[in-house]
Amino acid sequence: MSSQQGQGGGGGPPPQGPPTVESLNCGDAKQNATLGGEQSAVLASLGELTTLRSRADLGRLAGRGWSFRPNQFTSIEGIGVTVANPEPFLAPGAPNLLFYAPAGGAESATDPRAPDFPYELAGWGYEVPFAPFHFPGFLACVGEGEWHVHERGIDSLDSGRTTIMAPAENVIGGAGGSLADAPPMRPVVGYPHPRTWAVHFWRDPSGVPRSAILDPTSPAPGVDPGEGSNFYFLEEPPTAVLEPGATGLPVALAAGEGQLAKAGGGEYTLKSSGSNNRGASISVIEARLPSGSKRVAQGPTGQDEGWYILDGAMTFEADGQTLPARKGSFVYLPAGVDYSFEVTDGTARAVNAVASPGQNRRSSLKPYVLEPGEGEELTVGGGPYVLKATAADTGGSFSFMEINLNKGREPPPHIHHKEVETFYLLDGEVTFVTGGQVVPARTGGIVQLPIALPHYYSALGDGTVKALLIAVPAGLEDLFRQLDKLGSRPPTAAQALKTGVEPIIPPQPGGG
């Protein structure tokens, strides 16, 4: 336990009503019992994957939702690989971070691209959006001595280390630390992240995990909160607890940013990975493939895929079909189908969406290709929306569409209760506002919005903004079909809610 552990009374019945700062600061006996249950739940959930023996085990973790390695294989104070689960709703025993220590005597533990298996689970953690003067209350007996701040910055792809970019503020912890605050967040290629609340637990043979920042052998009750610190406790403890609700974070990456991997002569950059509270998941990858590069058939895949060609030309072979695809083409490849491809013209660039199979899956799903301009066309906000993949096409897995956003015709603030939305900017600039953050996106950039976060966006400049919109699970096209029929008339709240989208209706002047 952290040396800043609260000293409240232990034992007794749990407090009634919503948690408070005081009720979360439990005494030793109660906290030990609570954290012991936490460790047991995490170990039981992972089973044999408490040890990672190969990249195949990493793949098995990814199949459970642990699909993102923000620090890759870099060792930080004894942590080897950090594996993140983007599940937007957290609960005790279901963390969104796992920390694995590298094999003893590893010679390349600080090389982010040279793994040293086996890795053993060293600990786990929770990370949620930061709110000034409030900390999360969904973990019983985890109080002000355990929650700390993970400072805003960029995790470098080259080193795995974080370049800190603390926001300007009069009091440490007084600002939200969103991605759009000055200074600009783009001097380092990597994964930018806003300021967050974080708690780290470290596996202990006693059955009661310890809480400490980064290093399980050296609790850090007072890490220097100045420039350059990744993690720290606030000088003044929070006075309130965050309201329960969605804890997913928006993801925003500029062109060229993302987690890079090389295979078969090509480069694959993971741009985003997310899931909703029903287990539907999506990863978006940007592929850069030199002329003549190939992917050989490797056996049936377990996930649905969509490929949108940005440049060059590729030919796919799947389920006995030859599917040629040029710039602007879309190729759908259902789960269970073995496929291969070859780059046939110049260097190819493509957006690859990989999604978990849909709940309405049927055996008759087939691969297909749509040429540029092909697909069901709708008019939304005065601009064309071309549907490339719908719920009917993918068995409910994902929807994929080309969209045009016209300045002055954007939708009002709203909430998606079903799908995670991912926008890939083909041309133009958009500003998103979500989760208290202002998130800019330009050509080649990507923004992913978790469910349950109110958001809206504004198209910038004089021209039309062109983008790809990927939604998981599928079905968002039902809303756009409705908007197409309504023309210039906005939908009523009841009409929108039928599609799982809730408009935020502003209060009327003079109203309560």
Q: Alpha carbon of 162 to those of 159, 178, 220: distances in Å? A: 8, 16, 18
Domain boundary among 222, 247, 272: 247
CA 209 – CA 253 distance, rounded (Å) = 34
Residue 194 confidence (pLDDT): 78
Question: Secondary structure of the chain: what % helix, strand, coil (to 5)?
Answer: 10, 40, 50
- What is the greatest pairwise CA distance in the chain? 71
| Domain containing residue 159 | 21-247
- pTM, two decimals, is 0.65
Band of pLDDT at residue 14, cut at 50, 70 and 90: very low
Band of pLDDT at residue 117, cut at 50, 70 and 90: confident
User: Based on the domain organization, do 279 and 408 belong to the same domain?
Assistant: yes
Weakest mean pLDDT among 95-104, 166-175, 345-354: 166-175
CA angle 85/91/93 to nearest 5° reads 80
Give the highest mean pLDDT range of 115-119, 242-246, 472-476, 496-500.
472-476
Residue 438 confidence (pLDDT): 78
User: Based on the domain organization, do 263 and 337 belong to the same domain?
Assistant: yes
Contact partners, residue 485, CB within 8 Å, separation at least 6: none
Could you tell me if residue 478 is inside a domain?
yes
* Bridge-based pairing state of the strands 399-405 and 81-84: unpaired
Could you tell me if residue 49 is inside a domain?
yes
Q: Alpha carbon of 267 to those of 84, 261, 288, 308, 360: distances in Å? A: 22, 6, 5, 16, 33
Could you tell me if residue 3 is inside a domain?
no
Domain boundary among 220, 247, 274: 247
* Bridge-based pairing state of the strands 134-135 and 240-241: parallel
Could you tell me if residue 99 is inside a domain?
yes
User: Based on the domain organization, do 291 and 207 belong to the same domain?
Assistant: no
User: Based on the domain organization, do 276 and 242 belong to the same domain?
Assistant: no
Q: Alpha carbon of 6 to those of 24, 181, 225: distances in Å? A: 8, 34, 21
Mean pLDDT, the chain, integer: 81
CA 392 – CA 270 distance, rounded (Å) = 27
User: Based on the domain organization, do 182 and 256 belong to the same domain?
Assistant: no
* 3-class secondary-structure state, position 89: coil
* Bridge-based pairing state of the strands 97-101 and 210-211: unpaired
Weakest mean pLDDT among 65-79, 310-324, 392-406, 407-421: 65-79
Could you tell me if residue 333 is inside a domain?
yes
Q: Alpha carbon of 456 to those of 40, 382, 459: distances in Å? A: 41, 17, 10
User: Based on the domain organization, do 42 and 149 belong to the same domain?
Assistant: yes
pLDDT of 154-188, one tens digit each?
766 555 567 787 877 778 888 777 665 544 555 55
Contact 196, 135 (CB under 8 A): no
Band of pLDDT at residue 461, cut at 50, 70 and 90: confident
pLDDT of 269-278, one tens digit each?
888 776 665 5
Say how many domains are in the chain: 2
CA 479 – CA 484 distance, rounded (Å) = 9
Band of pLDDT at residue 5, cut at 50, 70 and 90: very low
Given a cut of 70, whether residue 495 has pLDDT beyond it is yes
Edge-to-edge order in the sheet of strand 414-416: 437-442, 429-434, 455-459, 414-416, 501-503
Domain boundary among 194, 214, 247: 247
pLDDT of 466-477, one tens digit each?
999 999 999 999
pLDDT of 66-76, one tens digit each?
766 766 676 55
Given a cut of 80, whether residue 308 has pLDDT beyond it is yes
Q: What does the chain come to in residues?
A: 512
Contact partners, residue 366, CB within 8 Å, separation at least 6: 319, 321, 334
Band of pLDDT at residue 227, cut at 50, 70 and 90: very low
Give the highest mean pLDDT range of 32-41, 111-120, 279-288.
32-41
User: Based on the domain organization, do 265 and 117 belong to the same domain?
Assistant: no
Residue 482 confidence (pLDDT): 92
* Bridge-based pairing state of the strands 259-263 and 266-275: antiparallel
